[in-house]
Structure 1
Amino acid sequence: MSSSTSSQPLVNPAGTTRLLWTVLATVVALTLLAYLVAFDQGAVSRSGMYLHELMHDGRHLLGVPCH
């Protein structure tokens, strides 16, 4: 009885690299979103008061103190 061993790697390096970049991009995007909602007081938002008021309501919804 002979055991066959495959010479193929168990993990696909290209898939792993793509997964790591996806995770990194997600973390960066969520960090930016958390900054905009929790800490931005209008310095980043240049679109007028609409975005500021939207983020202000988001702070109240999440319970972040903003006053």
Structure 2
Amino acid sequence: MSSITALPTPVTAPAPIPLRQILPWAAFGAVLAVVLLYFVGAEQGVTALISGETVHEFVHDGRHLLGFPCH
């Protein structure tokens, strides 16, 4: 009876992603996070960019979940 031996396969490490390719996406993510944080945390009262209660009511539960006081 013959035996079959498996040949070892070389393990290749993933190629690193250059910082030049990551930086625009990281900056976009940071700007998006700051805008979302503003709308959830500060879009009411004196600092409101949009008049009315629409934005406040839309993010009301998220505001409480993140610990921002609103009323």
> Does the alignment reach a TM-score above 0.5?
yes
Give me the CA root mean square deviation.
Answer: 2.4
* Paired position in structure 2 for 1:56: 60
Are 1:39 and 2:42 counterparts?
yes
Displacement, 1:61?
1.8
**Contact preservation (8 Å) 2:43, 2:55:** no
Is there any run of 5+ residues in structure 1 with no aligned partner, and where?
1-10
* Paired position in structure 1 for 2:30: 27
**Contact preservation (8 Å) 1:37, 1:59:** yes
How many residue pairs end up in the alignment? 55
TM-score (norm 2): 0.58
Is there any run of 5+ residues in structure 2 with no aligned partner, and where?
1-15
**Overall identity of the aligned pairs, in %:** 41
SS in 2 for 1:65: coil
TM-score (norm 1): 0.60
Q: Deviations over 1:15-65 (max 9, x none)?
A: 42120111111011001100110111172346x644320222211121211
